[in-house]
Amino acid sequence: MKAAVLREVGRPLEVEDVQIDNPGPREVLIRTGASGVCHSDLHFYEGKYAIQMPVIMGHEAAGTVEAVGSQVSYVKPGDHVITCLSVFCGHCERCLSGRPVLCDRTDVVRSESEPPKLSQGGTAITQFANISSFAEQMLVHEHALVKVREDVPFELLALIGCGVTTGLGAALNTAKVEPGSTVAVIGCGGVGLSAIQGAILAGALRVIAIDSVENKLTMAREFGATDVIDASSGDVVRRIRELTGGGVDYSFEAIGLKETAEQAFDMLRNGGTATIIGMIPQGVKIELDGPSFLREKRIQGSSMGSNRFRVDMPRYIEFYLQGRLKLEEMVTKRIKLEDINTAFEDIQQANVARSVITFN
């Protein structure tokens, strides 16, 4: 199969021929229909997070089941599926307590004694996030996918595989935004736009979008933000306090920077909650005002929107079909696999909400 391979940090990915193994007993082989290009992929490309190379990146995808392992009964060839990096075992403490996104994942990957899922000339290639979707095919554990209806295009289903689920889930599952509350979202890329939509679905009275790129603020309004703030003008926290009369009930940081994470906490009203969605680089520490905790202000992380993806993703599809969730509007570019490096450049230059690789 053809796949985009990353061999060195910052080096352009190259589309190469790669071998993919047959499904193991609990594995599923998928023909990739579409894959979104997520900011998380860029973090590894830029070396902000470490990974064993060579590696096939990509983790936001949907496609068609081609073959299944001997013990798989959940899906069959021909089924449409969305993949999810929150692969779960189903029997660890976290899974059994209703938090599969935090699964220990001790028996959902192949052991070192087994042949690699991906290889080239006998040399193993790392599978990114247990998915590797920048490729014509994906070989995943059966608990890394959800079967979905077949009347929604793959390019839209792919978005639900990460960005949409991460943003909506942060508002609905992690923070549990209350009706009538005031919300601020810092960063209006694909995840931030989804957090805005999640806050609206939860019944937020006011949703304030914050970004330094004009076209992203325009999109934020189209996605339901009631107010926008251009961060390039500075004094974001002060402006939020003036706009709301003291701060917001909930804030969401969807960029992954020290400064914006600290701002998310500082813009809270007493009793407010800041949720960090963005991937803050390894080794970076944030600083918070200690006395704020005496006013019951909180800061928390969110992993993939605290999802229970086999329950959540089909619901998000229904929200879309009811006209309550925007997906088409999030796709800025449709590209081919060979254009992957251009897609990374577009993210770096803040030109897109989402580029989506479509496969024939």
Count Cβ neighbours within 10 Å for each residue of 239-278 and write b for 16 or more, e otherwise: bbbebbeebbbbbbbbbbbeebbbbbbbbbbeebbbbbbb
The answer to whether the beta carbons of residues 131 and 161 sit under 8 Å apart is no
**Domain count across the chain:** 2
Q: Would residue 21 be called left, alpha or beta, if left means φ above 0 and alpha means ψ between -120 and 50 degrees?
A: beta
Q: Which of 144, 127, 178 is nearest to 74 (CA)?
A: 144
- Is 116 found in the same domain as 240? no
Examine the domain organization and report whether 157 and 170 are in the same domain.
Answer: no
Report the candidate in 141, 105, 144 with the shortest Cα–Cα distance to residue 26.
141
pLDDT in tens, 315-352: 999 999 999 999 999 999 999 999 999 999 999 988 88
Residues 151 and 220 placed together within one structural domain of the fold: no
Tokens matching residue 237: 């926290």
Q: Which domain holds residue 179?
A: 165-304
Q: Is the pTM of this model over 0.85?
A: yes
Q: Give me the mean pLDDT over the 7-23 stretch.
A: 96
Query: Is residue 130 located within the same domain as residue 212?
Result: no
Distance CA 294, CA 296 (A): 5
In a domain, 313, yes or no: no
Q: Are residues 147 and 277 in the same domain?
A: no
Q: Is residue 142 part of a domain?
A: yes
Shared domain for 132 and 37, answered yes or no, is yes
Tokens at residue 216, please? 């992203």
Q: Do 138 and 170 reside in the same domain of the chain?
A: no
Q: CA 84, CA 209: separation in Å to the nearest integer?
A: 27
Q: Which two tokens stand for residue 338?
A: 């060979």
152 and 16 housed in the same domain? yes
Domain CATH for 263: 3.40.50.720
Model confidence pLDDT, tens digit, residues 34-87: 999 998 999 999 999 999 999 999 999 999 999 999 999 999 999 999 999 999
